[in-house]
Structure 1
Amino acid sequence: MRKLAALPLFSLGFRPFFLAGATFAALAIAIWALWLYGRLPGAQPVGGMLAWHRHEMPFGFAVAIIAGFLLTAVPNWTGRPGLRGWWLIGLVAVWLLARLAWLLPVSPVLLLLLQIPFLPLLAWFLGRDLVAAGKRDNYPILLMITLLAGCQALTLWGLWIDDVGLQRRGVLAALWLVAALMSVIGGRVIPFFIQRGLNRPAVPAANPWPTRVLMVSGLFVALTFALGLHDVPRLWLGAVFVLMSALHLFRLWRWHDRGMWRVPLLWSLYLSYVWLVVAVFAMALWHAGLMSQQSLATHSLAVGGIGGLVLAMIARVSLGHTGRPLLPSRAIVVGFGLVLLAGLLRVFLVPFSGFGLGASALLWCLAFGVFLARYTGVLVGPRV
């Protein structure tokens, strides 16, 4: 048993959670697509396949990647040892049991109970180190993890009382909280990665107010989704999204460097952040009555934004934290393109053809399948 805890896989949080999150990303979308096209007969999980899909993509896939990233980043920020060994194995087991519960013949009560512990435990482990190190500037990230737990509770409550509207509110609030987290973390790491990746001189710190406004507006937007204020178009909410669009575009303009288009680990991050701008602007259009389907904005964020940023980030972090050169293989560069193309098909082709759903799902699964093929050995093996 000691040998299990001592494996490289459980030496730092990014290893098991990136591997588990990427595997689940490919499997979950494959299952969802097969069911949509009538190729997956049999019993459905509690609440039906739509409830499963809605819950598992933010609270299964996205949360696993967030956990892996933060359990690796917080030790760097605080100088404290990261979660490892049996404590890390236990946290992974809590996540895994929650995923399996949907697929096993368990009672609805047990299913819901198994979903609850992961995010509070993650918040506890992160908060313990941040508070001990006095890293108050990182407390907003801890707040977002706590709020994600609240969104999950809202979603599960909707599932328990069979209220589809409540489930949808919890899931959409969670997605836009993840967008706020993308904004905070992306605002730190993307310009830093561009500067380091291109050997540019350090630039003076940016004015903090745009970042603060984006963080506060992102939390506010998530709250409005939780309250159900996006059931009908509202011009004042459209104005909030216009402001966010402008600030995100300002960021992209400030970060841009022509040299990054020669570096896949940079343009993949940059273009994924562009998808976040597309999602925010699409919400502004919907609230102005200029776009008919709010789901197009949602999937701009979920597929192109979150999916693209996750794949680019886990590819880079996995190389850097295992001591390998930051030179991705050609296959994973193709993977970056596949997930971004999956976003394009899901948003721009689906309104005109049902073929777009299947094609987008296939490209998504291929992208994360490429990651697993190239990075499983990196994540389970020792540091170089």
Structure 2
Amino acid sequence: MSAAGCHGREASGPPVLSEGLRLFFPAAACLAVLSPLVWTALFGLSLPFGGEVPPSQWHAHEMLFGIYGAALAGFLTSAVPEWTDTEPRRGRALLVLLVLWLPGRLVGLVGFAPLSGLAAVTDLAFLGLLFWYVLAALIARGSTRHTSFALWVALIWLTEGAIRLSWLIGEIELGARLLHAALAIYLVFFSLALARINVAVVNLALDPSGATSRYRPHPGRQNLTAGLVALYAAAALLAPRSAVPAYLALAAGAAFFDRLAEWFIGRAVLRSHVFALAGATLLAALGFTLIGLAGLGAPVAPQTGFHVLAVSCLGLAVLAVFVIAGLRHTGRPLVLPWQAHAAFALMALAGLARVLPELGIGSSLAGAHYVVASLLWSAAFAVWLWGFLPALLSPTLDPPG
């Protein structure tokens, strides 16, 4: 991932509006800091205005479509123009996207059911405009190489509409299955993005000068995980009571375990940002394995697997992208400040606190572990903001020399 200036001179106006990630990564991080604190400290995990929709579904929705939705917007509005060598969206185009994202977050933060319809309209408009931004870049370039990203944005748009409709008509169980499908779609995005990001990240870890490219990914691994996650999501949505989703979850877990071979690069894997991407992949493997085992009758709750995927895997993956892109797209080398290392450590602790009591480890903390995990998760994004917000609000640095 190169610096933002790769598309020509930096546009006039505030630097925060010069590229999508400068605006949406801090927006996602601010919501990630605020929402767990509101849900645990203010509401005690309950949402008194949530109507028939359980608080757990409101929380899951806001994590996926609020926090990770903003992270996805920042990533795609920056990466797709870079991949297609087209002008990135700036200024007013980014502000419109942010304005469409905000109402749903204000409603979802307190679970205010009477305004759920307004939130649905603005969320669908937000995802629809994001789809157009991705598609327009592909059309302008005449490229089909990255059309999968446009396809999956369209699918997450359809999933959001289906979730809102299921809530409206009182199909709460269907809403839960659709939220699991949305989680799977974000894991597909993770898999597809990893296939593109990891090449540059690993090569820079092996040769920080960038003069050589020693690492070449195995082509068979690039899309295998995404394909198996997609198959699992379809089976879990359409045939939830059969054993098929369980076997497909185990297959997806095995594919993520196999993908760990991409990080057999010696001591360079111990660099924090490299290790974080490897750790997110390992957590994806463990999460799908737990879901598969639960589906086949093992004494583990499938929700534990979903929590590993949503809280630990995607949380660590999003932070890794925030750190890597936050440095590279502001003209800085991949030399991590202490806040990056601390954010990764806090996120890892948050995942452990959230999941271990459900696996019978530290079960005496059951109940309190929700609050502990939430505080650690918020702290991870707060520390990232501390270290990276000044750079994102400042002009891009000129490259050395």
TM exceeds 0.5? yes
Match of 1:367 among 380, 383, 396: 380
Match of 1:27 among 30, 34, 46: 34
Cα distance, 1:32 vs structure 2: 2.2
Counterpart Cα distance in 1 of 2:216 and 2:271: 24
Match of 1:211 among 203, 206, 222: 222
Does the 8 Å contact 1:190/1:270 carry over to 2? no
Counterpart check, 1:12 vs 2:19: yes
Does the 8 Å contact 1:323/1:383 carry over to 2? yes
Does the 8 Å contact 1:116/1:153 carry over to 2? yes
Counterpart Cα distance in 2 of 1:22 and 1:107: 24
Residue type at the aligned position of 1:362: L
Partner of 2:5: none
Does the 8 Å contact 1:170/1:225 carry over to 2? no
Counterpart check, 1:224 vs 2:235: yes
Cα distance, 1:84 vs structure 2: 0.2
Identity %: 26
Counterpart Cα distance in 1 of 2:22 and 2:282: 27
Counterpart Cα distance in 2 of 1:164 and 1:292: 23
Cα distance, 1:61 vs structure 2: 0.8
Partner of 2:268: 260
Residues 139-198 of structure 1, C-alpha deviations (whole Å, 9 max, x = no match): 111111111111111110111112211211121100011111111111221243112222
- My pick for the range that moved more, 276-285 or 186-195, is 186-195
Cα distance, 1:263 vs structure 2: 1.5
Question: What secondary structure, in the 3-state scheme, does the structure 1 residue paired with 2:297 have?
Answer: coil
Residue type at the aligned position of 2:376: L
Partner of 1:329: 337
Partner of 1:303: 311
Counterpart Cα distance in 2 of 1:268 and 1:327: 15
Does the 8 Å contact 2:206/2:214 carry over to 1? no
Counterpart Cα distance in 2 of 1:359 and 1:255: 31
Partner of 2:293: 285
Match of 1:238 among 240, 246, 256: 246
Partner of 1:320: 328
Counterpart check, 1:382 vs 2:389: no
Partner of 2:346: 338
Counterpart Cα distance in 1 of 2:113 and 2:171: 22
Residue type at the aligned position of 2:253: S
Partner of 1:161: 169
Decide whether aligned partners of structure 1 residues 139 and 110 sit closer, same or farther in structure 2, where only a CA change above 3 A counts: same
Does the 8 Å contact 2:339/2:386 carry over to 1? no
Partner of 1:77: 83
Question: What secondary structure, in the 3-state scheme, does the structure 2 residue paired with 1:26 have?
Answer: helix
Counterpart Cα distance in 2 of 1:323 and 1:100: 33
Q: Which runs of 5 or more structure 1 residues have no equivalent in the other structure?
A: none
Counterpart Cα distance in 2 of 1:118 and 1:285: 37
Residues 314-365 of structure 1, C-alpha deviations (whole Å, 9 max, x = no match): 0110111001222222132011011011111211124522222111111101
Does the 8 Å contact 1:278/1:300 carry over to 2? yes
Residues 93-117 of structure 1, C-alpha deviations (whole Å, 9 max, x = no match): 1111221234579644323322221
Question: What secondary structure, in the 3-state scheme, does the structure 2 residue paired with 1:116 have?
Answer: helix
Cα distance, 1:291 vs structure 2: 3.5
Residue type at the aligned position of 1:372: L
Residues 54-84 of structure 1, C-alpha deviations (whole Å, 9 max, x = no match): 2111111111101101111111111110000
- My pick for the range that moved more, 96-105 or 353-362, is 96-105
Counterpart Cα distance in 2 of 1:144 and 1:159: 22
- Structure 1 vs Structure 2 CA RMSD: 2.3
Decide whether aligned partners of structure 1 residues 239 and 76 sit closer, same or farther in structure 2, where only a CA change above 3 A counts: same
Counterpart check, 1:181 vs 2:182: no
Does the 8 Å contact 2:191/2:226 carry over to 1? yes
Question: What secondary structure, in the 3-state scheme, does the structure 1 residue paired with 2:145 have?
Answer: helix
Does the 8 Å contact 2:202/2:215 carry over to 1? no
Partner of 2:101: 95
Does the 8 Å contact 2:280/2:312 carry over to 1? yes
Does the 8 Å contact 2:104/2:123 carry over to 1? yes
Cα distance, 1:49 vs structure 2: 3.2
Cα distance, 1:43 vs structure 2: 4.4
Cα distance, 1:219 vs structure 2: 1.6
> How many pairs align?
377
